[in-house]
Amino acid sequence: MKEKATSFDIAHMAGVSQSTVSRALSNSPLVNKETRERVQRIAKQLNYKVDKNASNLRKQKSNTIALLLFEDPTTDDSLINPFFLNMLGSITRASAAAGYDLLVSFQNLDDDWHAEFEDSKKADGIILLGYGDYTAYRDKLAQLEEQGTHFVRWGAKDNDHPGISIGCDNYQGGYDLTRHLIQLGKKTCAFIGDAGGHAPEFLARYQGYRQALVDHGIAVDTFLRLDANSTDEAGYNATQTLLNTSSPLPEAIVCASDLIATGVLQALKENGYRVPEDVVVTGYDNISISAFTTPALTTVQQDTRLAGELLVSSLLKAINKQAVEDYLMPGELIIRESCGASQHQA
Amino acid sequence: MKEKATSFDIAHMAGVSQSTVSRALSNSPLVNKETRERVQRIAKQLNYKVDKNASNLRKQKSNTIALLLFEDPTTDDSLINPFFLNMLGSITRASAAAGYDLLVSFQNLDDDWHAEFEDSKKADGIILLGYGDYTAYRDKLAQLEEQGTHFVRWGAKDNDHPGISIGCDNYQGGYDLTRHLIQLGKKTCAFIGDAGGHAPEFLARYQGYRQALVDHGIAVDTFLRLDANSTDEAGYNATQTLLNTSSPLPEAIVCASDLIATGVLQALKENGYRVPEDVVVTGYDNISISAFTTPALTTVQQDTRLAGELLVSSLLKAINKQAVEDYLMPGELIIRESCGASQHQA
């Protein structure tokens, strides 16, 4: 290989200083158009490549966003839940659109992820995404703040840490769904999904469901709340339990996720129950399969595309020392046949 | 903040040298278990963090794999095709399992991506993934090799560049699908999907379809091949064209992807055709929705989980100067109702 051209060679040929070459190659407005184009043309002729890593180190910028993905320890670790997979795609897209690469790193909430990036120059800021109860990890968030690490997280607003949360209004989504079923005349509604402390999204959906019942004078029957993590298998098994313990079957089954709901539909079908005639079923998330199940699922859409854009744009604001506001995205009720809507309404 | 502990502090407290501390903290087998555990315990007590970036720079390793994702310029750039989204998830998982972070970067095949990583210390190696005809980019692959960049790519074997390709046998998949339809008695089979040079995966599927017809003495009717990129909308539109130009309708429609097939099913339904009674339809990829369409789609499964694992393990072999073999994964024929299988067979 012949020796590589340096910025000195280019400066010599273009008749400008090395710093002008550097500015011209980074499209700095400080260099006039004509000079910029001359420098860029010569650089191209010489097959000159900017050492971006060195260049960014000088600017103390990596042009990289780190995405820490937290596992749901309760589900098969070979798969990514479709909602988070969509978020991964959306965040990747939004980062690229902003000119940033995305460094994806799986983490366990119990690990020392809060310290991992303290001295690292790998990324300019961090997006925290995944299941899990961050309330148990307040100390780690506080340490990130103390370190001056720029970060935002996917989740509901945390009053102890304002300006770092982009999330979806799971409470309102659960409320809207359940109110819709009550308005359709359903008086007994089961809820399938883990409503424990380590699943705050599901818990908020449950609390919305519960409040809708209370507001409409319907007693909350704790026997109609069944745990399930976000898999079709868990939904299937919870439905078998419900069929064994509840007679008659409730008129509606509110599921904490679409994946759970697909398992519920399967179990009902195998046991000879018709949806929506015998029992109506709803999901949550509007993942791609929910429009294709038989019947198609009524659900709440979380706009993952917008979510990715908001997470990235908020993080870039933080990196640029601008104020970031918490944002709770509204969920959108998507009504399909599984709650009795006709195909024409869907 | 109090002053940070250094490796010297730990060495002093543990009664060992600084290099032993360094080795112990990177779990080197050169340090015996007892010493390693003592050093690690003290490091934890002092809240000592290894500066991983500095440590890796010394080792000239980033512990990061770069994934260059190439766009399909023909489809909506706000979305990632579900097959590639699954691959993204699978590669992220496989990287994490190997202890590597994944740096995801969107690229355009026409850009200078082959030079981008030449001097970069951001990643130890590169995975190339996406649509596109790499035969037009042989020079860039050759340059990567010349630079000594470690890389593997998703795609069929390239005889000019052995040992860099992990792919799926799209030709055999197209052949198997079509032979299955012929064995079901279908004599006229349309093919919907772009079989041009810039879509080599679709082209290989078409070639397999074509050879199956030829091998069974069925004439290839070029009017029954319709272009479509990999969207349901394109499948829908191609079907409308087919309905306008072909009378009677062919007995089978072979689609180059499941997304195309969902649009085909929709168009047939709207025009009053029953699947599989009036016409049978097949897809390709086995994305998640294909099991849920009405009727469920016969398709060819590409094992994205295995693909991600093979891409990562092959790249790590290359990084460690071990030989890498090309690998062409077999596709698996998944028979469902859309080609006339009963539900019990599915």
CATH no. for residue B225?
Answer: 3.40.50.2300
In angstroms, rounded to a whole number, what is the distance separating the alpha carbons of residues A132 and A158?
Answer: 14
How high is the pLDDT of residue B299?
98
Is the confidence at residue B2, as pLDDT, over 50?
no
Are B25 and B102 within one domain? no
- In 3D space, the residue among A218, A232, A231 whose CA is nearest the CA of residue A190 turns out to be A218
- The shortest C-alpha distance from A210 to chain B (Å) reads 31
Residue from the list B64, B88, B305 with its beta carbon closest to the beta carbon of A89 = B88
CB contact under 8 A, A85 and B86: yes
Are A139 and A202 within one domain? no
CB contact under 8 A, A305 and B93: no
Sign (positive or negative) of CA dihedral A213, A218, A222, A223: negative
Domain contains B295: yes
List pLDDT tens digits, range A240-279. 999 999 889 999 999 999 999 999 999 999 999 999 999 9
Q: B262: which chain A residues are within 8 Å (Cβ-Cβ)?
A: 292
List pLDDT tens digits, range B107-145. 776 666 666 665 456 789 999 998 666 666 777 788 888
Is the confidence at residue B58, as pLDDT, over 60?
no
Q: What are phi and psi of A126, to 5 degrees?
A: -130, 140
- Give the list of residues 6+ apart from residue A333 with CB closer than 8 angstroms, or none: A173, A176, A177, A180, A298, A300, A301
Using the structure block, give the residue that is written with the tokens 């049978």.
B280
Residue pair A200/A184 in contact (Cβ under 8 Å)? The answer is no
SS3 label, residue B113? helix
How high is the pLDDT of residue B56?
47
Domain contains B274: yes
Count the Cβ atoms, other than its own, within 10 Å of residue B116.
18
CA B105, distance to chain mean position in Å, is: 15
Average pLDDT, integer, range A23-47: 79
Q: Comparing A308-312, B17-21, B275-279, which segment has the lowest mean pLDDT?
A: B17-21
Q: B88: which chain A residues are within 8 Å (Cβ-Cβ)?
A: 85, 88-89, 92
Is the confidence at residue A71, as pLDDT, over 90?
no
How high is the pLDDT of residue A311?
97
Is the confidence at residue B78, as pLDDT, over 60?
no
- The shortest C-alpha distance from B124 to chain A (Å) reads 13
Domain count, chain A: 3
User: Is the model more confident about B46 or about B77?
Assistant: B46
Is the confidence at residue A180, as pLDDT, over 90?
yes
Q: A305: which chain B residues are within 8 Å (Cβ-Cβ)?
A: 78
Residue from the list B52, B96, B103 with its beta carbon closest to the beta carbon of A101 = B103
Are B200 and B298 within one domain? yes
CB contact under 8 A, B102 and A101: no
Domain contains A133: yes
Domain contains A344: no
Using the structure block, give the residue that is written with the tokens 């070979």.
A78
CB contact under 8 A, B89 and A93: no
Degrees to nearest 5, angle at CA B83 with A291 and A154: 70
Are A141 and A70 within one domain? yes
Per the document, the length of chain A is 346
Residue pair B264/B253 in contact (Cβ under 8 Å)? The answer is yes
CB contact under 8 A, B103 and A64: yes
In angstroms, rounded to a whole number, what is the distance separating the alpha carbons of residues A91 and A96?
Answer: 8
How high is the pLDDT of residue A28?
64
Average pLDDT, integer, range A114-123: 64
ipTM: 0.76
Domain contains A107: yes
Q: A104: which chain B residues are within 8 Å (Cβ-Cβ)?
A: 92, 95, 101-104
Is the confidence at residue A176, as pLDDT, over 80?
yes
Are B13 and B101 within one domain? no
**In this structure, what DSSP letter does residue B3 have?**
P
Are B296 and B234 within one domain? yes
Question: Would you call A49 an interface residue with chain B, using a CB distance cutoff of 8 Å?
Answer: yes
* Chain A residues 281-300 with CB within 8 Å of chain B: 287-289, 291-294
Are B78 and B46 within one domain? no
Domain contains A59: no
Question: Would you call B115 an interface residue with chain A, using a CB distance cutoff of 8 Å?
Answer: yes
H-run or E-run covering A271: none
Are A42 and A90 within one domain? no
Are A176 and A295 within one domain? yes
**CB-neighbour burial class of residue B177 (10 A; exposed 0-12, middle 13-18, buried 19+):** buried
**In this structure, what DSSP letter does residue A243 have?**
H
Tell me the sheet residues that pair with B74. none
Q: B92: which chain A residues are within 8 Å (Cβ-Cβ)?
A: 69, 80, 88, 104, 106
Question: Would you call B338 an interface residue with chain A, using a CB distance cutoff of 8 Å?
Answer: no
Cα dihedral B122/B124/B127/B132 (nearest 10) = 60
Are A237 and A262 within one domain? yes
Q: Quick one: tokens of A155?
A: 């989740």
Q: Which domain holds residue A140?
A: 64-168+303-330
Are A79 and A113 within one domain? yes
Is the confidence at residue B262, as pLDDT, over 90?
yes
Question: Would you call A34 an interface residue with chain B, using a CB distance cutoff of 8 Å?
Answer: no
SS3 label, residue B71? coil
How high is the pLDDT of residue A1?
36
What percent of chain A clears pLDDT 70, i.e. is strictly above it? 84
Are B119 and B21 within one domain? no
Q: Comparing A34-48, A75-89, A312-326, B208-222, which segment has the lowest mean pLDDT?
A: A75-89
List pLDDT tens digits, range B323-345. 999 999 999 999 999 999 754 44
Question: Would you call A160 an interface residue with chain B, using a CB distance cutoff of 8 Å?
Answer: no
How high is the pLDDT of residue A44?
84
Using the structure block, give the residue that is written with the tokens 């999330």.
A167
Q: Quick one: tokens of B280?
A: 């049978």
Q: A289: which chain B residues are within 8 Å (Cβ-Cβ)?
A: 288-289, 291-292
In angstroms, rounded to a whole number, what is the distance separating the alpha carbons of residues B83 and B106?
Answer: 16
Domain contains A279: yes
Q: What are phi and psi of B111, to 5 degrees?
A: -75, 175
CB contact under 8 A, A104 and B92: yes
- In 3D space, the residue among B61, B46, B64 whose CA is nearest the CA of residue B4 turns out to be B46
Conformational region of residue B261, where left means phi above 0, alpha means psi within -120 to 50, and beta covers everything else:
alpha
Domain contains A268: yes
In angstroms, rounded to a whole number, what is the distance separating the alpha carbons of residues A305 and A314?
Answer: 14
CB contact under 8 A, A89 and B92: no
